[in-house]
Amino acid sequence: MNTQEKQILQRVADTIRVLSAEAIEQVNSGHPGLPLGCAEAGAVLFSRIMRHNPANPNWPGRDRFVLSAGHGSMLLYSLLHLTGFGLSTEQLASFRHLKSETPGHPELGETAGVEVTTGPLGQGLGMGAGMAVAQRLMDAQIGGGLFDGKVFVLASDGDMMEGISHEVGAIAGHLKLHPLVVLYDNNQICLDGPTSDCLTDDVLARFRAYGWKVNHVDGHDLEALETALVEARAERSQPTLISMRTVIGKGAPQKQGSSGVHGAPLGAEELARLKEGLGWPAEPFHVPAEVAAYFEERKAVFAGYEREWNEKLAALRAADPEKGKLYDTFAGRSLPADFDEQLWNAQVSAGKATRVMSGEMINHVARLIPFFYSGSADLSVSDNTAIKGMGTISPEDFSGRTFKFGVREFGMAAICNGMAAFGMVQPLCGTFFTFSDYMRNALRLAAIMRQRVIYQFTHDSIFVGEDGPTHQPIEHLASLRAMPGFTLFRPCDENELRASWIEAFKTQGPVALILTRQNLKSQGEASRANAREGVARGGYILHGESGDVDVLIAATGSEVEPAMGAARLLEAEGKRVRVVSLPSWQRFDAQDAAYRESVLGGQAALRVSVEAGATLGWHKYVGADGLTIGIDTFGASGNMKDLADYYGLTPEKIAGRIGSELAARAATAGR
């Protein structure tokens, strides 16, 4: 790097500083410390290292950038503005304003050049690792030098303190995930003060122990940064961590190096001092002419990266047309024309646990679509997520289809988010339903980003049995049902399961299949005739007729079977009973009023819900005076049959509760 190059890059860095500080000051909200401290790193990375083309932000062969420390979003927005991603000065001035392209934390889909939604610390590391995994998978399947890119992640001390950094760091090191490059903003200051108050472990030694290449540089030395990044790009045997010793808020004379600059605007006086120290004009959002000219010249270089990649793709198509077709299948995540029919007619083991049947469906799907990958948090032998006969992904071989994440649920979920956001693969991951708690924040980000990750959550109720309350989900259905954009399917038999799999691939956003440990009886022709449309619409009449009845029973999953048993007992007493299966509340609530009325409407002396979980939410279907049969306490360790009897979930106990309630109401009405 010659003197002239250093001068222009320093000018770029200072432009980032001023733009970031001004946008934050204008809205009187934001985090200037990181943008000011990492300005040199951003300048070098976006102008001289990354192979991207701002004129076409989504071309598949690009390098990716993930701002894991999403609070420093103005660093990214300033870079997107300068490099030509179409982010206007007006949008910088609208930072953190409602409906702007510059939200407080980067959001996928809101701003060109933003690869994933970040903010909850640590998850950007996981999603970056997921993108790097996708790079390796694509390289193994397609080849041709098309997927040799890098995923650059900018992480803060907060990212390193979050537990997910341990999970992701370990799995990335194990897999020798060389596309992953993490820039660690090691400024030794966090929001509450010096990191020495709460962070004294040796972060660099930790990552070395994971199997990473670790480098340490002066984060304000442009030449040292470029050298470290060039080395990281050439690395082909392990992930890279570049520790950058920076000064938080660099350039703000009274506040730099202090926690006060982390999460609060500089203030008018300090902003003026910053500009004065840099020799900057008072004009707001000023971009020096030489900086604008520099990036105008870089456009040809950026476009050249994409052109070279397109030439590689054309050469691959010419040399190997079948690989070219395979690339198109991955690029479009294209399903076979008869995909739905293939799934609906798939052979599964009726009468088994839905986890077993879904495991069979996973293998069927894997044979139909090559971009489908499945993994588990060390539970594949129990949650039935392994793809048989297609190999396990390993450090030496990414051609397999099954991913072993180890006992790392949170890291697994974040990695799968990154894989989905990469755009060419469809990930599924599995664990026991109760352990979805470990994944919760990553599930939420998947919903915010509307990324279709499929989750196979098994052992879905107290019927786990002897493992007891620590492993028996109670509140989990209600909790995930409350999450916007998150779709759950809890099938009652093989027909609802097949339909759930069909609908999973029609859903934009995350999908959870909530599955049993225990065997379930098939509902036979009743579900075979109605489940395909019924599951698509979230709920349907499984037994009985629409219109007026004596008792309406709504249930999901494994409780459909005892609900049907209770219905037969009540019918033997002369009562008219309708049984409704509601495998997906989200889908059912999205139907028009006429359909919902056709399923749940009509007069009923008593409306009842049956589910082996918290009753929260069921009253919207059975009414404020409806009977909710469920479990609003934690479970207990015991035999599955004993638990069903103890918690009142046998056909006899359900029918008894309903009979008692009807009698009590009749007595009250007769007074």
- The sign of the dihedral angle between the CA atoms of 518, 524, 528, 531 is negative
Of 659, 570, 653, whose CA–CA distance to 610 is shortest? 653
Give the integer Cα–Cα distance in Å for 117 and 449: 6
Which of 407, 413, 362 lies closest to 389, judged by CA?
A: 362
The first and second tokens of residue 505, run together, are: 């691939």
If one counts every other C-beta atom within 10 angstroms of the C-beta of residue 319, the result is 10
Strands (E), 505-576: 511-514, 540-543, 549-555
Pairing of strands 151-155, 64-67: parallel
Residue 522 · residue 612 · CB < 8 Å: no
Measure the CA–CA gap between 650 and 641, rounded to whole angstroms. 9
Written as six digits, the tokens of 362 are 């996973």
Distance CA 514, CA 660 (A): 31
The catalytically annotated residue of 162, 167, 360, 409 is: 409
Residue 344 CB: number of other CB atoms within 10 A?
Answer: 16
Tokens at 83, concatenated: 């490099």
| Angstrom distance (rounded) from CA 72 to CA 123 | 15
Contacts of 308 (CB under 8 A, 6+ apart): none
Q: How many CB atoms lie within 10 A of CB 505?
A: 18
Cβ neighbours of residue 641 closer than 8 Å, sequence gap 6 or more: none
Per the annotation, the verdict on 396 as an active-site residue is no
Residues in the chain: 671
Catalytically active residues, by annotation: 409
